[in-house]
Structure 1
Amino acid sequence: MKTDKLTVSGAEIYYEVRGSGPPLLLINGGDGDAAMFGPLAGLLAEGYTVITYDLRGNSRSRLTGPPGAQWIEEHGHDAHLLLHAVAADEPAYVFGTSYGGMIGMDLLARHHGQVRALLAHEPFVIDLLPDANRWHALFQEVYELYEREGADPALRKFSDAIGVDGPPQPAENLPVPVREMLARIRANIDTCLAYELRTFVRFRPDVDALRAARFALAVGGEGPNTLLHRTTEALAERVGTEIVEFPGGHVGFLSHAAGFAVALRGAFEG
């Protein structure tokens, strides 16, 4: 595995490259980082040049300017620059989960020549819901709770509302790399709550661009239906596409990496 950093406006993007073959960019969601894709990337590296990275302001992708509100379009531009640096002019397969799916949609809409196919897994497109205003108000409450009482109470309120568990604590009995990853992710929660959540959920995808591209939607097929199932269904209705069930839940790419790799290959190569 090769690791490197890419200098972009306002940040240094940490990234990893594995394998050989057509480029495949994996984009994580809120508070995640490249290590969460490690098992999946290792499996996919048998047939692809797999690119993973930490989103700006998260984990090892440090900001080079003062922190502030972030936007999906800014992250889409980061993905564009990263693909250009690693894959040059070769179009890439792109997989994005949660916020990452939205970043992939922005990349596809504004740099469609870089995207061979896009699969978005449980994208958090809140603004497409009929009750979007209620959710925007709740996320503002989450932010205000974060400001008053800190990350843990705010994360609990957020997780309970959307039906997705937050990351576990980095317990001492876990392997060192897992503890280190979880410690980074816990630190990323502050970035998510302060600078990402309220702005990222204002993103509205370019539906016409998605209809004109090789674009697919997936949800975790195990566990309860969550708010992210609702948002995925809302986008599927707008685009006029079906939803495929992938192994596991919201983080099935980590908890069910082997089955997820099979499903992702099938989606891209089918």
Structure 2
Amino acid sequence: MTDATIGSLRVNGATLHYEVRGYGPLLLLIPGGTGGAASFDGVADDLAAEYTVATYDPRGMSRSTLDDPEAEQHVAEHADDAFRILELLSPGEPARVFGASSGAITTLHLLTAHPERVERAVAHEPPVVEVLPDAAEHRALLARVQQTLHTQGLMPAMAVFAAGLKEGGAPTEPKAQLQLPPRAAARAEQTMADLPYFVGRIVPSFMSYAPDIHRLETLSDRLVLACGQDSRGELPYRPAAALAERLGMELQQYPGGHTGLTTHPAEFGALLRAAFRS
């Protein structure tokens, strides 16, 4: 890993941890889930050969602290955080932006709220379930997840959530524990530490977000919607496919599934570079 310049940025109600590496036009990478800036470790160095690559821990995750740990979370505020980073690192200049999962929802809102600051945006599997014809079923899923979280705890809630994300809602078998290298083990530990906040605060807010379709239609020339080749039919794939159809654009296929960024970093990074050059 190339050494990154580390910084912190005060925003409304939080202090953001961010990292910058490389030279060239700014490319902001917005993580999803509980990954934080570390989720881009596999691609950041390669992208930094062409871009000034910036990423960060979203507010409340990992090293980005909230003034009020109990504060409700809102997509618009997370998108404003991304905007503040753009203003800091690329004042007055449009930037390229990539977001994954919940970070892709942040990316969609950033594009619609501040189109003058986004030259091109790639959103990978944003779970905007409100665009689906069966959105009511997914609202019910989110309600079950929250009820299970409050009555039975984190891991039962995660099981309900994971089953709902799979095609047909089939439960998944627990994976065997592997001996991880120290860096990966530290990331896994941080992921577990962030899960209660993610499931309790981020999931219900972000998955109830309805994108501004009409606004996105006017900006579709600078938006790329992408999905994992292996996640066809699963919940994170379906909303992106539906949104692409609504906007009349081709859905780009990326390697792997919802976490293809981690499982296929080289191929994923190559497709990202191509998307930002086109």
How many corresponding residue pairs?
269
Query: For residue 258 of structure 1, what is the aligned residue in structure 2?
Result: 266
Q: Is the 8 A contact 1:128 1:235 kept in 2?
A: yes
| CA distance in 2 between partners of 1:207 and 1:30 (Å) | 24
CA–CA separation in structure 2 for the residues paired with 1:43 and 1:170: 30
Q: Which runs of 5+ in 2 are unaligned?
A: none
Contact 1:96–1:121 (8 Å) recurs in 2? yes
Q: Which residue of 1 aligns with 2:96?
A: 93
Task: Work out whether residues 108 and 209 of structure 1, in 8 Å CA contact, stay in contact via their aligned partners in 2.
Answer: no
Alpha-carbon distance between aligned partners in 1 of 2:227 and 2:20, rounded to the nearest angstrom: 26
> 1:31 and 2:34 equivalent?
yes
Distance 1:154 1:169 in 2: 19
Of residues 23, 47, 71, the one that matches 1:44 is 47
Q: 1:22/1:253 Cα in 2 relative to 1: closer, same or farther (>3 Å)?
A: same
What is the match of residue 186 of structure 2? 180
- After superposition, the Cα gap between the structure-2 partners of 1:38 and 1:116, relative to the gap in structure 1 and judged at 3 Å, is same
TM-score, with length taken from structure 2: 0.92
Identity %: 39
Is there any run of 5+ residues in structure 1 with no aligned partner, and where?
A: none
Shift, 1:168, TM fit:
7.2
Deviations 1:168-199 (CA, angstroms, capped at 9, x unpaired): 7985x312111111111111110111111112
Deviates more, 1:199-208 or 1:260-269: 199-208
Kept after mapping to 2: 8 A contact 1:170/1:182: no
Of 5, 8, 14, 1:5 maps to: 8
Task: Give the 5 Å matches for 1:63-74.
Answer: 63-74=66-77
1:49-70 CA-partner distances (Å, limit 9, x unpaired) = 1111111011111111242321
- Give 1:157's aligned residue: 160
CA, structure 1 residues 167+260, in 2 after alignment: closer, same or farther (shift >3 Å)? farther
Q: Does 1:239 align with 2:247?
A: yes
| Preserved contact between residue 28 and residue 95 of structure 2 (Cα < 8 Å) | yes
Change (3 A) 1:167 1:39: farther
What is the identity, as a one-letter code, of the residue corresponding to 2:58? L
User: Which one of the candidate residues 98, 122, 132 is aligned to 1:119?
Assistant: 122
The structure 1 residue matched to 2:207, chosen from 184, 198, 201, is 201
Please, which moves more after superposition, 224-233 or 140-149?
224-233
1:167·1:186 contact (CA, 8 Å) conserved in 2? no
Partner SS for 1:222: helix
Shift of 1:207: 2.1
Q: Does 1:77 align with 2:106?
A: no
1:106 to 109, 124, 136: 109
In the TM superposition, residue 210 of structure 1 has moved relative to its aligned partner by 2.1
Contact 2:144–2:160 (CA<8 Å) still a contact in 1?
no
Give the AA of the match of 1:55. P
Q: Which residue of 2 aligns with 1:53?
A: 56
Q: Measure how far apart 1:71 and its partner are.
A: 1.1
Greater displacement, 206-215 / 160-169: 160-169
Shift of 1:212: 2.6
Equivalent in the alignment of 2:136: 133
User: Could you say if the C-alpha distance between residues 44 and 60 of structure 1 is closer, same or farther in structure 2, counting changes exceeding 3 Å?
Assistant: same
RMSD: 1.9
